Amino acid sequence: MERAGLTLLARQLSCPRGEIDLVLRDQGTLIFVEVRARSKITHGTAAASITRKKQTRLILTAKWHLPTLTRRFFSGLTPPCRFDAITFDHGRLQWLRDVIRVEQDK
């Protein structure tokens, strides 16, 4: 991801709601990344293991850390955010962009 021009901001951010593996910046966008690996796909692929429950925990964890990340890296202005996944199936890497959609509060 860094070779693609993204900047690593944090690793393994945790809170009472869960953990986010990586947080990166792509110009003005804040990216939360889930990393998953599967050596066997008998129980599904690495991407399939990011269940609705896991997605909810990721979103809640991102919301928990967003104010601090915004102050520290974006001068207090909330940036656009997205959720990506890095998956490994049988050692094959795949970068899935924008894999979790969050409905905006109205």
pLDDT tens digits, residue range 12-23? 999 999 999 999
Residue 57 sits in a domain whose CATH number is 3.40.1350.10
Q: Has residue 104 got a pLDDT over 70?
A: no
- Is the C-alpha dihedral spanning 98, 82, 65, 1 positive or negative? positive
- Domain-located, residue 106: no
- Domain-located, residue 70: yes
- Domain-located, residue 105: no
Lowest mean pLDDT, pick from 3-12, 39-48, 90-99? 39-48
List the domain range (segments joined by +) for residue 31. Answer: 7-100
- Is the C-alpha dihedral spanning 54, 55, 57, 61 positive or negative? positive
Match 């901001």 to its residue by tokens.
Answer: 9
DSSP E strand stretches across the chain: 7-15, 18-26, 29-38, 81-89, 92-100
- Encode pLDDT of 36-92 as tens digits: 988 776 778 888 889 999 999 999 999 999 999 999 999 999 999 999 999 999 889
- Domain-located, residue 37: yes
- Domain-located, residue 95: yes
Instruction: Tell me how many domains the chain contains.
Output: 1
Residue 100 corresponds to which tokens in the numbers above?
């979790």
